[in-house]
Amino acid sequence: MTGKVYLVGAGPGDPELLTLKAHRLLSQCDALVHDALVPRALLDLTPEGCERHFVGKRRGHHSVPQPSTNAVLVELAQRCRCIVRLKGGDPFLFGRGGEEAAHLVAAGVPVEVVPGVTAGIAAPAYMGIPITHRRAGSSVTFVTGHEELDKVRPAVDWRGLARSSDGLVIYMGLHNLRRIGEELMAGGLDPATPVAVVQQGTVRGQRELVASLGDLADRVEAEGFESPAIVVIGRVVAERVPSCAPLPASVEMPIPF
């Protein structure tokens, strides 16, 4: 028997942002392979007897190597009918979903992607920030900020981004925030550019900060912001409408492990 693997987006944290398709698959799966940034409320949707496998990756914690995750998925497909690979946010946005899909196809395992709501859209929305706006930004760039900036050839050209995009949404960027800010300003971005940080967006423990690019790193450090967090840089932050922001869900993330 060869089962089917579903690469499912768990959304940004608030369980009510889970898609209907994801809910259906979770309620009928034989096996669940999940990341760290998934609220327990979603795990509890699985039926009795469902196998659960944790394969999360978090900075500063033990991480399951990607080849091990790939092997788990292939092995489960040999004996289970419906396997849900549950990933925080959207599986194809900084989630290694493309890598896992390619590996499964090469191994002869049927696979289907189920998109999810990404934190880069939802977390700013829970502050009332639109990531595009007719007056303030017609383009936005989603970028990962965890890469070490002192590499000989870094993959992200921050100075180029300062000149080419109306707004930036940065994932996993707190560790390098000071250097990122320096590079953006060196690329011509005004130190007065409005910025926002959302920690634990959409769930209990959500924290918010609005600042300027020039003092962002100092403010984040002084106020003790931690990952997981989304950083928004651009004039759209000034278009914030706090009264439209939803209340964070009364769940916690990431799950204890």
Going 206 to 202 to 184 to 177, the CA torsion angle's sign is positive
Residue of 229, 200, 92, 126 lying closest to 100 (CA atoms): 92
90 is catalytic: no
Give CA separation, 105 vs 68, 233, 251, in Å: 16, 38, 35
- Among residues 14, 35, 87, 253, which one is catalytic? 35
Give residue 153's pLDDT band: very low, low, confident or very high (50, 70, 90).
low
Peptide bond just before 228 cis, omega within 30 deg: yes
Percent of all residues in the chain with a pLDDT value above 70, rounded to a whole number: 93
Kindly calculate the radius of gyration of the chain based on its CA atoms and give it in whole angstroms: 19
Using one digit for the tens of pLDDT, what is the confidence trace for 80-108?
Answer: 999 999 999 999 999 899 999 999 999 99
- Among residues 21, 57, 157, 166, which one is catalytic? 57
87 is catalytic: no
Q: What does pTM read for this prediction?
A: 0.91
35 is catalytic: yes
Please give the Cα distance from 139 to 141 (Å, whole number). 7
Using one digit for the tens of pLDDT, what is the confidence trace for 190-202?
Answer: 999 999 999 999 9
Please give the Cα distance from 87 to 97 (Å, whole number). 8
SS3 content of the chain, % helix, strand, coil (to 5): 30, 25, 45
Answer whether 56's CB lies under 8 Å from 63's CB. Answer: yes
- Among residues 14, 90, 127, 172, which one is catalytic? 172
Answer CATH for 120-244 from 1.10.3720.10, 3.40.50.920, 3.30.565.10, 3.30.950.10: 3.30.950.10
Backbone angles phi, psi at 179, to 5 degrees: -65, -40
Q: What is Dmax (Cα atoms) for the chain?
A: 60
Question: Which tokens sit at 245?
Answer: 């922001």
Mean pLDDT along residues 211-224: 97
Instruction: Report domain extents, the chain.
Output: 4-117, 120-244
Fold (CATH) for 4-117: Cobalt-precorrin-4 Transmethylase; domain 1 (3.40.1010)
Answer whether 167's CB lies under 8 Å from 139's CB. Answer: yes
Please give the Cα distance from 7 to 27 (Å, whole number). 15
- Residues 6 or more apart whose CB falls under 8 angstroms from that of 211 comprise 194, 195, 196, 197, 219, 220
Query: Which of helix, strand or coil describes residue 218?
Result: helix
